[in-house]
Amino acid sequence: MRAEQRLMQSPQMIQAMQVLQLPLMELKDQIDQELQENVFLERKDETERTDAGAGQEPAAPVEAPYEDRLQREFAAEIEQLETRSDPTWRQRSGALGGEEEDKKLEALANTPGRATSLAEHLMTQVRTQESDSELVRVIEHVVFSLDEDGRLADSPEAIAQQLLVPIPLAEEAVQVIRDLEPIGVGAKNLRDCLLMQLSQMTYVPALTRRLVENHLDDLAMNKLPKIAKETGASIDEIKECWEFLRVHCNPHPGAEFQPGPATGVVPDVVIEEVDGKFEVKSQRGSLPELTISGVYRNLLQEAKNDPKVYEYLRRKIDAAKWFIEAVHQRQNTIERVAIEIVQRQEGFLRRGVQHLKPMKMQDIADAVRVHISTVSRATSGKFIQTPQGIFDMKRFFSSGTMSDAGDMVSQQAIKDTLKGIVDSEDKDHPLSDDELVNELGKRGVHVARRTITKYRTALGIDSSTRRKRF
């Protein structure tokens, strides 16, 4: 036997950590779920309306029991449903509340429909063209095997082996898909996709097909002099064919059927400048204020004679209190972290990314007096609205490099400077990575060439060879 200290995480601690890590929109969904599952939780605005209504008429009789009120509301809903089941309801509603109905119809008319996926678009064509159920089954399998660009990685032999069907049937299924709209779907790779589209055109420059068949990789790497030497064509002719491909061909025929969900960014914290000082305001968004339901609190008093019921209600009300405390603690922690960030990044808030200082999570954790994992959870998936725009809170954490002036320059500031240098370079003579190192050195920032390559890749900037304009 030995005595030792060990940290035991209680359910309340685990819940608090989970709530802290949730982004604002996900937290709203979590609150809605808790409101449905826990009868002791309710929105504070509903409670205030009930209390305000009771305070306006102190001499009025006490409101009927909760169960009676539910019965009346339920009966009213049934009566409304029965009324709407009457065939003459629409005519009556149009005569009495036409304006209200017009608003609802207008809202429905202005609601966008569900986007059609590539698989749905292709299968709609298949079902109007093919009647063989076995062939349609294989086609459906192939359709749902296409990647987001509409390309097919599996060969007919592999498809036949997966579905235990004859190879000719799998080949026929693949060919059916290759004949569908948009042209290029079912291609094996980019070269195959472009050739499929060129074969459907009435006019194609002769050199264009040769470029796609034999020099596509060099074209992607911008090696135009090499292509000119091997084909005997001039660079201008090659550029004309390249432009023809860009205008008339689509390398991603399935991309238009992959609309991403329209997700908005809701900042958890808003930074505003008031009288020359920056203030941090917690942004609750559409989060409701939660409180303990007074109706069910009375049930707890009534259930004292039944230990089992009392224990059940006790657990529910404790869970409600823990959840409310976790939400409040989340807001408090995020606000404290944001305040510390603002104090350290005032230069960025006033003058932009170039003045973003290096900052580590451990520095904020020490200042706020929490564990570094708490800072990580408090900033993960959270956004902060500043005078410079809306940013992911984790963007403020980065290491830095010492400049010639003796100041620490953050990685974000170096990346921003690097992007500015590339944007302003002469595209006929783009700067190599070694030259980019020298350009940064002139600005007092010294980094290794491999670091420039890493930053350039992270920013999505091509090499100097691919950036060169002929």
* pLDDT per position as a tens digit, 80-119: 444 544 445 444 444 444 554 455 445 444 444 455 788 8
- Between these two residues, 297 and 21, which has the higher pLDDT value? 21
Give the single-character DSSP code of 387: T
Lowest pLDDT segment from 56-65, 188-197, 347-356, 440-449: 56-65
pLDDT tops 80 at residue 27: yes
Residue 65: predicted pLDDT = 47
Dihedral of CA atoms 232, 236, 237, 243 in degrees, nearest 10, equals 140
Q: Is residue 110 part of a domain?
A: no
Do 251 and 224 lie in a common domain? yes
Mean pLDDT score, 150-177: 89
Q: Is residue 66 part of a domain?
A: no
Do 123 and 211 lie in a common domain? yes
* pLDDT per position as a tens digit, 371-382: 888 888 888 888
Do 180 and 246 lie in a common domain? yes
Query: CA 463, CA 470: separation in Å to the nearest integer?
Result: 15
- Between these two residues, 291 and 440, which has the higher pLDDT value? 440
Mean pLDDT score, 137-166: 88
From 16, 53, 70, select the one nearest 332 (Cα to Cα): 16
Query: CA 334, CA 20: separation in Å to the nearest integer?
Result: 8
CATH code: domain of residue 458 = 1.10.10.60
Per the CB < 8 A criterion, the answer to whether 400 and 348 are in contact is no
Query: CA 466, CA 126: separation in Å to the nearest integer?
Result: 41
Do 350 and 299 lie in a common domain? yes
pLDDT tops 80 at residue 193: yes
Helix, strand or coil for residue 373?
helix
Domain final residue pick, 202, 233, 257: 257
Question: Structural domain of residue 149, as residue ranges?
Answer: 118-257
Characterize 262-272 residue by residue with b for buried, 16 or more Cβ atoms within 10 angstroms of its Cβ, and e for exposed: eeeebbbbbbe
Q: Is residue 463 part of a domain?
A: yes
* pLDDT per position as a tens digit, 295-327: 666 676 676 677 777 777 778 778 888 888 888
Q: Is residue 68 part of a domain?
A: no
Mean pLDDT score, 330-356: 85
Q: Is residue 167 part of a domain?
A: yes
Helix (H) or strand (E) segment spanning residue 279:
strand 277-282
In Å, how far are 73, 76, 128, 436 from 440, measured between CA atoms?
Answer: 71, 74, 61, 6
Mean pLDDT score, 185-205: 88
Unique residue bearing structure tokens 């989340």: 330
For residue 390, name the pLDDT band (cuts at 50, 70, 90): confident
Residue 108: predicted pLDDT = 42
Do 149 and 247 lie in a common domain? yes
For residue 426, name the pLDDT band (cuts at 50, 70, 90): confident
Lowest pLDDT segment from 23-37, 46-60, 110-124, 276-290: 46-60
Do 253 and 287 lie in a common domain? no
pLDDT tops 60 at residue 49: no
Per the CB < 8 A criterion, the answer to whether 316 and 302 are in contact is no
Do 277 and 167 lie in a common domain? no
Q: Is residue 8 part of a domain?
A: no
Q: How many structural domains is the chain composed of?
A: 3
The pTM of this model reads 0.52
Domain final residue pick, 206, 230, 257: 257
Domain final residue pick, 346, 362, 394: 394
Query: CA 174, CA 86: separation in Å to the nearest integer?
Result: 53
Residue 11: predicted pLDDT = 72
Query: CA 443, CA 403: separation in Å to the nearest integer?
Result: 8
Q: Is residue 27 part of a domain?
A: no
Residue type present at position 313: L
Q: Is residue 106 part of a domain?
A: no
Do 251 and 281 lie in a common domain? no
Residue 258: predicted pLDDT = 58
* pLDDT per position as a tens digit, 222-256: 888 888 888 888 888 888 888 888 888 888 888 77
Pair type for strands 408-410 and 400-402: antiparallel
Do 389 and 406 lie in a common domain? no
For residue 420, name the pLDDT band (cuts at 50, 70, 90): confident
pLDDT tops 70 at residue 64: no
What are the start-end ranges of the H helices in 60-166? 66-84, 89-96, 98-109, 118-129, 133-143, 156-163
Residues of the chain with pLDDT > 70: what percent? 77
Per the CB < 8 A criterion, the answer to whether 238 and 207 are in contact is yes
Three-class DSSP labels, 219-277: HHCCCHHHHHHHHCCCHHHHHHHHHHHHHHCCCCCCHHHCCCCCCCCCCCEEEEEECCE
pLDDT tops 60 at residue 393: yes
Task: Give the residues across from 408 on adjacent strands.
Answer: 402
Residue 81: predicted pLDDT = 45
